[in-house]
Chains A and B, each alone.
Chain A
Amino acid sequence: MTSEFQFSLDLPVRNEWRNVELLRTSVENCFQAVFADLDGKTAISMVTGELLENALKYGDWESADASQFRLKVEGDRARAIVTVQNPVKPGDPGLREVLDTVAWIKTFKTPGDAYRARLLEIAQGEGEAASRLGLVRVAYEGNCAVDAQVDGATLTVIARMTLS
């Protein structure tokens, strides 16, 4: 990354739903203060919010160490990386869903194709629990390359975005 306007946030997060909005708007405001870029701040805050929501929905908040929940946002004028780390239960179906969704996105030519395909899947299904739209939205609306990796009982989801 270039050094011009380089920024970095790295902080532990308590596993409470209200913290999603607190951190989403904090990232938005930080980005606005540095770049005054309306579209960029909206995109990076959306990515932050969706990844945090994903962690709260699919993380292991009973048996694992909740202090493993962390948000990291770094970048410069041209690109940003949003990383969310959270505890998971190895073998948990929710963890499998996250990994499968990340792999599924990559089977499409563009994130937009994946997003539209997911919208149609949701329309054909019922209930909300398994919409799994958040990560696909990060890829499409956030213009991000999304990766996920598991290390023991910790899941790390990384969204790399190019800022216009």
Chain B
Amino acid sequence: MIYRASVDALASGDLRIDVASADGGAVVCTWTGKSNDRSPQLVLGPWFETLLAAKPARIEMHFEKLDHFNSSTITALIRLIQTARAKSVKLAFVYDPNLKWQRLSFDALRVFDKGDHAFELVSAS
């Protein structure tokens, strides 16, 4: 099964998130640039909702190429984890462990990995 990406890429300020389809009904979202908006939830929240409404089998958020995000973006990502779990959409965050800031930021999010594969953290190397 191939997920047909029905959600447009997001471009907002210094941030871009590209969307692609993958095998097994998964959707791959690749973050590039910087997420430094004052209230990123205002942009990311509705975009995440659209993504979840398409009911993909799995969403992979790839952060390896992202230069920076602020703490308000982390808050928005926590909301996504909660919403995806509530909607039974599997979610994975893929990060670059060779970048110390990504290792620290994403390792801390393991508090949301309950071992049920609803939310997973994936080290890219």
Task: Point out residues on A near B: beta carbons under 8 Å.
Answer: 17, 20-21, 24, 38-39, 42-43, 45-46, 49-50, 53, 56-57, 112, 115-116, 119-120, 122-123, 128, 131, 133-134, 136-137, 140-141
Contact = CB atoms under 8 A, between A and B. Distances in A.
B87 to A, nearest CB: 15
Interface of B: 14, 34, 36, 38-39, 41, 68, 70-72, 74-76, 78, 81-82, 99-101, 104-105, 108-109, 111-112
A134 B100 contact: no
A120 B75 CA distance: 10
Contacts of B71: 50, 53, 131, 133-134, 136-137
B108 A122 contact: no
Nearest to A133: B71
A17 B14 CA distance: 13
Given A131-B71, A137-B74, A119 B38 contact: no
Given A21-B36, A53-B38, A141-B105, A42 B75 contact: no
A103 B112 CA distance: 25
B111 A116 contact: yes
Contact of A20 (B36, B76, B105, B111): B36
Nearest to B109: A119
A161 B42 CA distance: 32
A112 B108 contact: yes
A141 B104 contact: yes
Contacts of A21: 14, 34, 36
B81 to A, nearest CB: 7
Nearest to B74: A133
